[in-house]
Amino acid sequence: MDVLELRGWEKKNSSNYHHRCGAKVFKHSGRWVATTVGGNQSSSHETAILAANYLEQKDVSFWNYGRSAWIGPYDDIFIECGNLSEDVAVETFICYHSADCSFPKYQEATFKRLFFGKARCAKCFQPMSEFRLKPFNNFRFGSHKATDDSFLICGCGYRVWQMHSDLLSTATTGLRRAINHESRKERMKPAGHESSVKEIEEILKIQKNRCIYCNVQFTNRNAPTKDHLLSLADDGTHHSLNILMACRSCNSRRCDIPFRTYCKLLSPMQNKRILKHLIARLLALEFHNLPEQAWESFELGLALHDPRHWRYIDIQSRSITARKNAATNRLFPRSGTAILRNASKLLDTQLNHHRMRHGIVTVAPSGQVRCTLRPFTT
């Protein structure tokens, strides 16, 4: 197999090569002629490689062939793949971002670890080893047509890379995780007060060291994770009142589905148990020492409901039980006060007396719960 065949050209005979995009190079009168995808012939060249190089660099339709897949963006980075080689294990891709000729600094270390030494130039086969960017205005690859984008190029000036499909899949997954981690860090910055170890221990005690959703027992092998009643994506805080302890599976399953919406997918028994936990949390509060931001986050977390959330719909589409629960479950009360006012049958007598001593909750002779919240202090 010669160099052109490695680059995706099919050798018809010693003087004729065809590329799967439709371009051709052939020998005529001792010189090599390059024919574009559109059928236009260029001036002759001394060698087949020079003719192929001319087409790959000058023909804007050359890379617009076969299957292509746009698998970005990764924040400011875009990656698009196409199958250049007959070997399905080899992926061809371009990497580009907006017009400014700089690589996102916070992504450099991650990208270097995942791609450098593993991706190779589709022209000279040298491994990717540096962040060299160059804008191209008249270049097409798959469904992408460059419009002042900056491409990651090889030292030889080429902007198309090859990589084993498994390595590329691992690299793009790792890049996505790194960007999600960075995004989460940015979202967490304005979330304010961080819950203390003691506060987390108190939450676990109220939840009886079990997942708030599925009730599985926490162990060393199944450690608890922090779930936010009002998600960080919706500007939730890190105050303990906004923290629920969930197993990793339930935490991932819920993701950023609003709390009341997600509970519709759970069984009635689970909902009843979760409501008891919330009541216990509210009764354990010292409202006069509660920051207003914490209470606002808690109230908004209870009030939000989005039956059109794509994850909510997706879970129902894959689970008959979830679909049945969503159709029959009633929504949780939409505020902390409403939870206490409508939960007299679930309240423990000892907890009632505890809150009565603090002047926060009183129980009328009829059994109705009445709440009087003291002014907040920030």
pLDDT in tens, 62-111: 765 544 555 666 667 788 876 555 555 777 888 887 656 566 676 788 88
**Strand positions, DSSP E, 43-108:** 68-70, 78-82, 90-97
Instruction: Tell me the domain boundaries of the chain.
Output: 3-58, 68-186, 193-335
Q: Distance of alpha carbon 67 from its chain centroid, rounded?
A: 25
What are the residues whose beta carbons fall under 8 Å from the beta carbon of 116, sequence distance 6 or more? Answer: 127, 128, 129
Q: Per residue of the chain (378 residues), what is the pLDDT tens digit?
A: 677 876 668 888 888 998 867 788 998 888 899 998 778 888 788 899 899 888 877 776 676 554 455 566 666 778 887 655 555 577 788 888 765 656 667 678 888 889 999 999 887 889 999 988 888 766 666 555 656 678 888 988 888 888 888 888 888 888 887 776 676 556 555 545 667 888 899 999 999 999 999 999 999 999 999 999 998 878 788 888 999 999 999 999 998 899 999 999 999 999 999 998 998 888 888 777 778 888 888 999 999 999 989 899 999 999 999 999 999 999 988 888 888 776 655 554 444 544 444 444 443 444 443 444 333 332
- pLDDT for position 358: 43
Question: Smallest Cα–Cα separation from 161: which of 190, 130, 188?
Answer: 130
The candidate with the shortest Cα–Cα distance to 193, out of 99, 119, 298, is: 298
Whole-prediction pTM = 0.49
Angle, in degrees to the nearest 10, between helices 165-188 and 105-115: 150
Structure tokens at 299: 């109230």
Q: What is d(CA 284, CA 286) in angstroms, rounded to the nearest whole number?
A: 7
User: Can you give the pLDDT at residue 234?
Assistant: 80
Burial class for 189, CB neighbours closer than 10 Å (0-12, 13-18, 19+): exposed
Q: Which long-range contacts (CB under 8 A, 24 or more apart) does 321-324 make?
A: 321/267, 322/265
Instruction: Give the C-alpha separation, 266 to 233, whole Å.
Output: 22
| DSSP bridge pairs for 132 | none
Please report the pLDDT score of residue 271 as a whole number: 94
Dihedral of alpha carbons 240, 244, 249, 255, sign:
negative
Q: How far is it, in rounded angstroms, from Cα 30 to Cα 210?
A: 80
Q: What is the dihedral of CA 81, 82, 87, 90, to 10 degrees?
A: -20
Q: For position 101, what pLDDT does the model report?
A: 56
Structure tokens at 143: 């469904």
Interacting residues of 61 by C-beta distance below 8 A, sequence separation 6+: 21, 22, 36, 37, 38, 140
Amino acid at 338: A
The beta strand positions in the chain, using DSSP E, are 9-13, 16-19, 24-28, 31-35, 68-70, 78-82, 90-97, 120-121, 133-136, 140-141, 144-145, 149-152, 161-164, 225-228, 243-246, 361-363, 369-371
